[in-house]
Chain A
Amino acid sequence: MAESILGKLGFGRASGVDKAGWGRTLGVAIVAFIYFLPVLFIIFTAFKPQGDALLVPPTLSPTSLFGLIPDHFVFKPTLENFGSVFSRSMTPDGAPEATGFDRYFFNSIFIASASVLLALVIGTLAAFGFSRYPLKGNDTYLFIILTTRMLPAIVVIIPVILMFRVVGLSGSYLGIIMLYTAFNLAFTIWMMKSFFDELSPDVEDAARIDGSSGMRVFFKICLPQVIAGLAATFVFGLILTWNEFLFALLLSGPDTRTVPVAMNQAVSSGGRGTDWTLLAAIETLFLVPVFLVTFFLQNHLLRGVTFGTVKR
């Protein structure tokens, strides 16, 4: 029984290399825990009663773990913060009002997935072109594509705002999706090009000799070989876009606001100081979609990242 649970967690998994002993595993577990600690703290805070957030010393656990943890470190978990995310009273004595966060979550999901998918489609096609049909000065173009990513967003924001104002895209879904797509494209093209470069050209030659047109070679032969790469690129792009704040702050309108922007406004408005448990609840909810996507794609993700080293 215990073994099957450990097995499911990956402890008993057979692999080509020698398994590390318990000592090393423990070492890695400690480092992983340290990595996870800030996230864990946020998640716990989201379940704390409002007054608990700023207690010194802080409460650390929702359970006493059968008496292991002293009582003054234990908080009583509550779901009220999650309710406040979507509906709460905005004035000291006012009735609860809708906060619009359902809308902002929809915006975040819609904008991030639309732009990442769009970038994935366009970028994969472009990457295949750059890899298989190099232009004169191919590397120069690839370099230029990446320049948008070489500067901090704050530097390019002014020309971008001007461009958006001229064409009237400020505050629209189309505008922000186009912007994110353009930003993700740079990353997608570079990632996918390296995956296509790794493929054996013989296989494509064979497919052509077997009667396939260029399109069919791409869809039937090349694409299935880079699924891991597509998954990895999708997840990385999604994480970058999901968390983007500055462009969203300056280029989205009231209807197209994304969660990071709304989060900022929710905690800094009202003049009552920051409501930390509310912020933690928003953050926890915000973590869920990207956490799920990454979790379900993680097998592909690992294969994608280690592509060049294990493939041949």
Chain B
Amino acid sequence: MSTIELRKVTKRFGSFTAVKDVDLSVAAGEVVCLLGPSGCGKTTTLRVIAGLESVTDGEVVIAGKVMNNLPPEKRDIAMVFQFYALYPSASVGENIAFPLYHDGISRAERTARVNRVAAILHLEHVLDRLPNQISEGEKQRAAMARAIVRDPNCFLFDEPLSRLDVELRQSMRGQIKEVLQGLSKATVIVTHDQLEALTMADRIAIMKDGLIEQVGSPHEVFAKPANAFVASFIGTPQMNLLEADLKTFADGTAEMAVAGINLAIRTDAAVGRLQPGRVTIGVRPRAFTATDTGDRGTISARAELIEPMGAETLIHARTAAGADIRVVVTRSQRVKVGEALNLRPDPRQTHVFDGAGKAVRS
């Protein structure tokens, strides 16, 4: 079975801990994206799976076998590198054929396989060229072809689309997804681009400072972020995280002071277990309704900057106490700079994070 499992994997470089106690399992046919800001340890995690870095602690299990001490060439995996890592002195065809030399495959079979993946990835016309004679998109596809030409235990992708322009990135995203769906292998994709993760992954693991903050389906990490970091990292425009002072909670309604404004808002029942004090509330820019008159359920703010985004308009508003709030409204809703807004957060989409940043949810 093509599976990957990380058990309490830790990787230290000297005194620096790059990856800390990471547990992750990827089932056959599943695509997991490691998502996080630069330096969060996602690429190191991938390299640990590949065997390019040794683990300091924990176990790397691929296809049911502990592989901690096996060098990369013995792990039977395929990897696509960020900069493609095509062999510069070999033609595209030789590049794709390269992994096949070790499996004792006949020449005819090798040619047949290369031609087959070249056809899937539209590379037939560049097979005789050198890597520096083809376009970025073709390089990406050649790297991909080299990975899928044999039948490895699993696939690893390191920032596979980061070097492509926006248009190419969109079409490649679809192509990669399509190719992977036909292969039923465990796949790990490292990316810092949340759109890439949300569109390609079955599950997303969000990392920060070497730790996995949350693992879940794209829907889960978006709708139920485990903590304030995940909440702010996933979703564009970014979720509004507002410092609040929790006062009382009764009948599913919390009374709190947000940026100097007293607010009564329906929240998750679990909020009732919190002691009054500092919390953070998170509301996505699209979860506000702008109303004509203010009441105890709205935050009043003034529009400071308007950014039309096509179908929608992004408004940067500021409360009297100086807190910035991003609001997205539909194009038809005309708002002018300086206009007063009464913003009502949608109770079902209002997240409360405790003093440590953890989501409070029942």
- Interface set of A (CB-CB < 8 Å, partner B): 200, 202-203, 205-213, 220-221, 224-225, 227
A212 CA / B72 CA spacing, docked (Å): 9
User: Chain A CB within 10 Å — which of B76, B82, B98 has the most?
Assistant: B98
Cβ–Cβ < 8 Å partners of B85 in chain A: 200, 202-203, 205-206
A202 to B81, Cβ gap below 8 A? yes
Report the nearest A residue to B82, measured CB to CB: A202
A207 to B98, Cβ gap below 8 A? yes
A209 CA / B77 CA spacing, docked (Å): 7
Of B57-65, B86-94, B189-197, B263-271, the one with at least 4 CB within 8 A of chain A: B86-94
A225 to B89, Cβ gap below 8 A? yes
B79 CB–A CB distance under 8 Å:
yes
Given A203-B85, A205-B85, A225-B88; A210-B146 close (CB under 8 Å): yes
Partner of A211, one of B52, B73, B83, B90: B73
A221 CA / B79 CA spacing, docked (Å): 17
Cβ–Cβ < 8 Å partners of B78 in chain A: 209-210
B50 CB–A CB distance under 8 Å:
yes
A209 CA / B149 CA spacing, docked (Å): 13
16 contacts across the A-B interface (CB closer than 8 A): A202-B83, A202-B85, A205-B81, A205-B85, A206-B85, A210-B78, A210-B102, A211-B73, A211-B76, A211-B99, A211-B102, A211-B103, A224-B89, A224-B90, A225-B89, A227-B89
Cβ–Cβ < 8 Å partners of A205 in chain B: 50, 52, 72, 79, 81, 85
Given A200-B85, A211-B73, A212-B73; A206-B79 close (CB under 8 Å): yes
Cβ–Cβ < 8 Å partners of A227 in chain B: 89
B294 CB–A CB distance under 8 Å:
no
Cβ–Cβ < 8 Å partners of B88 in chain A: 203, 225
User: Chain B CB within 10 Å — which of A200, A205, A224, A227 has the most?
Assistant: A205
A225 CA / B90 CA spacing, docked (Å): 10
Partner of B73, one of A200, A202, A213, A224: A213
A208 to B73, Cβ gap below 8 A? yes
A214 CA / B76 CA spacing, docked (Å): 16
A225 CA / B132 CA spacing, docked (Å): 13
Minimum CB–CB distance for B83 against chain A, Å:
6
B277 CB–A CB distance under 8 Å:
no
B71 CB–A CB distance under 8 Å:
yes
- Interface set of B (CB-CB < 8 Å, partner A): 50-52, 71-73, 75-79, 81-83, 85-90, 98-99, 101-103, 146
Partner of B72, one of A200, A208, A220, A225: A208
Cβ–Cβ < 8 Å partners of A200 in chain B: 83, 85
A217 CA / B71 CA spacing, docked (Å): 13
A202 CA / B87 CA spacing, docked (Å): 10
Cβ–Cβ < 8 Å partners of B82 in chain A: 202
Report the nearest A residue to B90, measured CB to CB: A224
A210 to B99, Cβ gap below 8 A? yes
Report the nearest B residue to A206, measured CB to CB: B85
Report the nearest B residue to A226, measured CB to CB: B89
B98 to A210, Cβ gap below 8 A? yes
A211 CA / B78 CA spacing, docked (Å): 9
Report the nearest A residue to B99, measured CB to CB: A210
A209 CA / B50 CA spacing, docked (Å): 7
User: Chain B CB within 10 Å — which of A208, A209, A213 has the most?
Assistant: A209
A203 to B86, Cβ gap below 8 A? yes
A208 CA / B98 CA spacing, docked (Å): 11
User: Chain A CB within 10 Å — which of B52, B85, B90 has the most?
Assistant: B85
Cβ–Cβ < 8 Å partners of B103 in chain A: 211
Partner of A209, one of B72, B86, B89, B90: B72
B102 to A212, Cβ gap below 8 A? yes
Report the nearest A residue to B102, measured CB to CB: A211
Minimum CB–CB distance for A124 against chain B, Å:
16
Minimum CB–CB distance for B233 against chain A, Å:
27
